[in-house]
Structures are given as structure tokens and as C-alpha cells.
Structure 1
């Protein structure tokens, strides 16, 4: 009985033994050259190649709009806006978002702090709400930032910028 027990113990000890690492060969591995850094060059996008595109000129914003619009999901926008030589004369906007609430913005709640390159209105109450207006080709964009106090419920989370066609005053 002692012999089988001794054999088992020897096998267990042998299983725990470590094999010494092989000595490093005297032959060095062939060195590979360091990867070469390739210089990246900017390539024009294929749909822009051959076009003569110029930046939007910086000029005072002029737009007049009295419009209403209803989109496919039922959001109703009502806007009364007049900006003359980047000076906001009239600004009254209401956006009703179904099942979310409404947002209302009036020039009396804001003070104009910038004219160029974008018209910028800041809330007079110090809430951090800003309204930015800029020209994008034939359209004027009116965007709202940090204005949940001007909205009911969660309406501000669903508020998109208002787009106005500069020539006709149509909004969408």
C-alpha cells in the first residue's frame, strides 16, 4: 500500500516541476526594418473635384418673415421675424410639439449681443438661453441653445431649428 501511495506522490511532484527555459541561441533573429512613416496628403472629395466652391460671404443678415408651418409629425411653427442689417427688429416664435408641449420666444426676453458673423441673442434673465441666426445659402437658420425654461414639459428636447427662405419669408 505504501508503494502505490509513494508513486502517486512522485507523479504529483513531477507534475509541479518546472522545465528550465531553453538557452538563447547564439544566432540573432534577422532585424526587420522599422516601419516607414507615410505622409498623408489631403485629397479633394470626388463630388467636390472640379467645382469652384467659395465660402459664404460675411455680410449683415437681412430677412423678413411672417409665417406658419406644420410638418409631417404635426409640429406647428409660427414665426414673426424682421432682421435689418443684422439688427433684430422683431422676433416672436412659437413652436408647438405634439404630446410634448410648446416653446415660446419673444424679443423682449432677449438682448442682442452680436451681429457678425451671426446674429446672437442672449436671454436677459441670465439663464444662458441663446438664439443664433445665420444665413446658409438661400436660407436663414434660427437655432436655440440651452432654452428649456422657454418651453413646457420636455418640448425643448424635441425642438429643431427654424429654417426660413430668405427671399420669400416662407418657413419650414
Structure 2
């Protein structure tokens, strides 16, 4: 199983939690905030290439759940790319998760949320920002919340 498929499973689980706003289970101490209620403050810089040629290059600055800059490029091997730039989006939501909508009126949205060990940046409905035929393989990017680096697998 490739890392992209494992990542897809994690993202699918997180999206389910986000859409239902169910808090994480309590494991001693104070209960954690639901995933969607976590504030994001991060300078993210993730550049990595997987064994199968999947490449991501993502930089994002978020202060108090407000996106200040964003540049994200995804390459699916040598078959094509997807591209997302801050100037092409407007932030429409800060909580319970960050949401940015494309300024061109398309259905393209960028979503960002924080879990205890990762901040996920995902796209929804953004096929037009990708080379035809690769969108289903263009997975989200995940950052370490404390350092902003790529989540290590």
C-alpha cells in the first residue's frame, strides 16, 4: 500500500469527524477540543517526493485561523500537476475549520484543519486546477503543527 492511499484513509476519517463535529475520545486529563475547534497558527513549508514520484511543494502562513499566504503545487508523477495560489482564493470561514473558496466562482474550495499531530490542507471540487486525469490522485498535504514541516511517514 502506497503512502498516498494511507494518507487518503486518514483524510477521509478526518473529514468525517469534521463534518459531524464529534470530539476526539478522552484519554486521561482534560478532554481535547474537537478537531474543528483547534486554532491554527503556523508557518508551513512542506516539500517532499515519494517513491512513486508523487511530489508536493506547499507553503502556507496562518495566524489565528486567518490564512495570510498560500502556495501549493502537487505533481502526480510525470502525469501532471495541480496548483493553488493565495491570490486565487478568498477566505470564507475561520471556524470550525478554515475554508477558502476560489474567486473564479467555481466550486473549488481549500479546507484546513488541525488535529493533535497534524495540520491538513485539502482541496475539494478543484479539478480545473489540475492536469486532466490526475485529480483523484492529488491528495492533501499534512504539516507538523509545531514546526510546519511535512508530516513524516
Interval of TM-score (by shorter of Structure 1 and Structure 2): 0.7 to 0.9
1:56 is displaced (CA, Å) by 2.7
1:171 is displaced (CA, Å) by 1.4
Structure 2 unpaired stretches of 5+? 1-24
Which residue of 2 is the match for residue 77 of structure 1?
56
Q: CA RMSD in A?
A: 1.8
Structure 2 Cα separation of the partners of residues 121 and 51 of structure 1: 33
Between structures 1 and 2, the one with greater helix share:
2
Structure 2 Cα separation of the partners of residues 160 and 171 of structure 1: 14
Which residue of 2 is the match for residue 56 of structure 1?
33
TM-score (norm 1): 0.67
Between structures 1 and 2, the one with greater strand share:
2
Question: SS state of the match for residue 48, structure 2?
Answer: strand
Aligned pairs, number = 124
TM-score (norm 2): 0.75
Q: Which has the larger radius of gyration?
A: 1
Question: SS state of the match for residue 111, structure 1?
Answer: strand
Structure 1 unpaired stretches of 5+? 1-47
Contact map agreement 1:100 1:153 (CA 8 A) in 2: no
Structure 2 Cα separation of the partners of residues 118 and 139 of structure 1: 14
Tell me the alpha carbon deviations over residues 122-155 of structure 1, each in whole angstroms, 9 at most, x when there is no partner.
Answer: 0111110000000011210011100001101212
